[in-house]
Amino acid sequence: MSISMFQTSIPVLVRALTNLSAILEKGAEHAAMRQIDPAVLLNTRITPDMFPLIRQVQIATDMAKGAGARLAGTEPPKLEDNETSFEELQARIAHVIGLLQAFTPEQIDGSETRDIVLRNRAGETHYKGQDYLLGFVLPNVYFHCTTAYAILRGVGVVLGKSDFIGKV
């Protein structure tokens, strides 16, 4: 039995973002219990040359929404990247999960060989759909979710592997 592009993308991305949401909830609870200004946690970085927690969440959600749209052959919607609170990050995650859940298998399946072009300041990067998903999107989503987890764990939020992995 083979696995489809839909099965490899949309449910996997929804699960990663759902788990990220739960991790952020624990971060917000930690800040409230310890009477820490939430902005301190939201702007914490692992090292000075890495993005803070807020940006980690923005990038993870951007990667996920971009993947759904590009694999379906549509233009990804633009988000403003102006979140400043746990509540706003939760709303962003919920919005992106909603976008992902609107895609159907018919829109995503068969996208293995779809041409995907990413444009940035350095120029263009060309992918085929499967390589884009497996070699670019999923590693990036997991990297930024892991980094968000590590930032919160590093400031004392009680988190374990099961928080990252979530319910199977």
Domains and CATH numbers, the chain: 5-165 (1.20.120.450)
pLDDT interval class at 65 (50, 70, 90): very high
Q: Does 30 have pLDDT greater than 90?
A: yes
Mean pLDDT of 147-154: 98
62, 65, 14, 41: which is closest to 149 by C-alpha?
41
Average pLDDT over residues 138-163: 97
Mean pLDDT score, 137-157: 98
pLDDT of 28 reads 98
Q: What are residue 118's DSSP bridge partners? A: 125
Buried b (16+ CB within 10 A) or exposed e, 51-60: bbbbbbbbbb
Tell me: pLDDT of 5 over 70: yes
Of the candidates 41, 22, 19, the one whose C-alpha atom is nearest the C-alpha of residue 155 is: 41
**Residues 73-129: pLDDT tens digits?**
999 999 999 999 999 999 999 999 999 999 999 999 999 999 999 998 999 999 999
Mean pLDDT across 7-33: 98
50-78 mean pLDDT: 97
The CB density around residue 73, as the number of other CB atoms within 10 Å, is: 14
Report pLDDT for 167.
80
* More reliable by pLDDT, 2 or 145: 145
What pLDDT is stored for residue 120 in this prediction?
87
Where does the pLDDT of residue 1 fall: very low under 50, low under 70, confident under 90, or very high at 90 and above?
low
Distance CA 166, CA 143 (A): 16
